[in-house]
């Protein structure tokens, strides 16, 4: 009797399912599509400006001899010239991505320059030395450069970079006819920048504008001679950039 009752209950349940429409399917949850956040562009134009401490280091040596003279004068000498400037630097560039940019820079002195001169040598085997310095030499400093700027993001805010390019540096003073220095050539630099906001960054860098060896020989009014000199010009820059 119990077995019959269970069988009847099973048949009743099957009939109920058939009337209700047959198979029961589990409900399907709707798929929610989440939009990926838009990538922030790291490219664009930027401009900037900086205070620059610029310096020329010149090392020189030479000799001079008087001709057609009974006594004759023979002189050998060596020495150095240093000139320091306060200068303004302006920059403009384009950043392709977080690793590469191109940049142009222009420097102009804000002061006449503080200078020092030291020399020593012999004249007819007699030793001599000369020293002088001042800030009234009316030196003028001007330079420009165009650079490839490889960069590396250390953090989201901090970048380190190099500058590799070509440019010109010119120095004049009131003592010489023409330019005291006028050199075109390879320039390089190293620096770092820190983002204060999405648009504004502070930076500091070192840029070598010139490293050149030169020489000159002459024969004039009974004298012959030769001078050799090595010029190094560099700047230390601290400034701000604004990205459009």
What does the alpha-carbon distance between residue 87 and residue 124 come to, in Å, rounded to a whole number?
Answer: 43
pTM (predicted TM-score): 0.77
Q: What is the pLDDT of residue 178?
A: 62
How much of the chain, in percent, has pLDDT values that exceed 90? 57
* All residues at 6 or more sequence positions from 97 whose CB lies less than 8 Å from its CB, including other chains: 42, 43
Q: Write out the H or E segment, with its range, that includes residue 18.
A: helix 2-19
For the chain, the C-alpha Rg in angstroms (whole number) is 38
The structural domains of the chain, ordered by start, are 44-243 (2.40.160.20)
Most confident of 9-18, 90-99, 137-146, 213-222: 90-99
Q: Across-strand partners of 46?
A: 93, 243
Among 62-76, 86-100, 194-208, the range scoring the smallest mean pLDDT is 62-76
Q: What is the pLDDT of residue 38?
A: 42
Residue 121 pLDDT > 60, yes or no? Answer: yes
Q: Region 120-149: what's the mean pLDDT?
A: 88
Q: What is the pLDDT of residue 202?
A: 98
**CB distance 44 to 244 below 8 Å:** yes
The pLDDT confidence band at residue 80, using thresholds 50, 70 and 90, is very high
């Amino acid at each position: 009797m119990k077995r019959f009752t269970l069988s009847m209950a099973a048949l009743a349940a099957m009939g109920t399912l058939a009337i209700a429409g047959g198979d029961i399917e589990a409900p399907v949850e709707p798929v929610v599509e989440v939009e990926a956040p838009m990538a922030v562009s790291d490219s664009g134009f930027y401009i900037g400006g900086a205070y620059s401490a610029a310096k020329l280091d010149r090392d020189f040596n030479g000799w001079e001899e008087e001709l057609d003279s009974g006594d004759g004068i023979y002189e050998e000498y060596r020495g150095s010239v240093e000139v320091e400037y306060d200068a303004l630097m302006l920059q403009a560039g384009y950043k392709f991505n977080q690793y590469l940019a191109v940049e142009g820079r222009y420097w102009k002195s804000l002061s006449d320059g503080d200078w020092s001169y030291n020399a020593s040598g012999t004249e007819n085997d007699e030793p001599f030395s000369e020293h002088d310095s001042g800030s009234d030499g009316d030196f003028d400093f001007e330079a420009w450069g165009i650079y490839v700027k490889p960069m590396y993001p250390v953090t989201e805010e901090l970048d380190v970079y190099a500058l590799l390019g070509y440019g010109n540096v010119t120095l004049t003073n009131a003592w010489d006819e023409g330019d005291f220095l006028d050199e075109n050539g390879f320039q390089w630099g190293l620096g770092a920048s820190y983002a204060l906001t999405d648009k504004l960054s502070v930076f500091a860098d070192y840029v070598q504008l010139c490293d050149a060896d030169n020489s000159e020989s002459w024969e004039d009014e009974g004298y012959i001679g030769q001078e050799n000199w090595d010029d190094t010009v560099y700047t230390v820059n601290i400034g701000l950039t604004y990205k459009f």
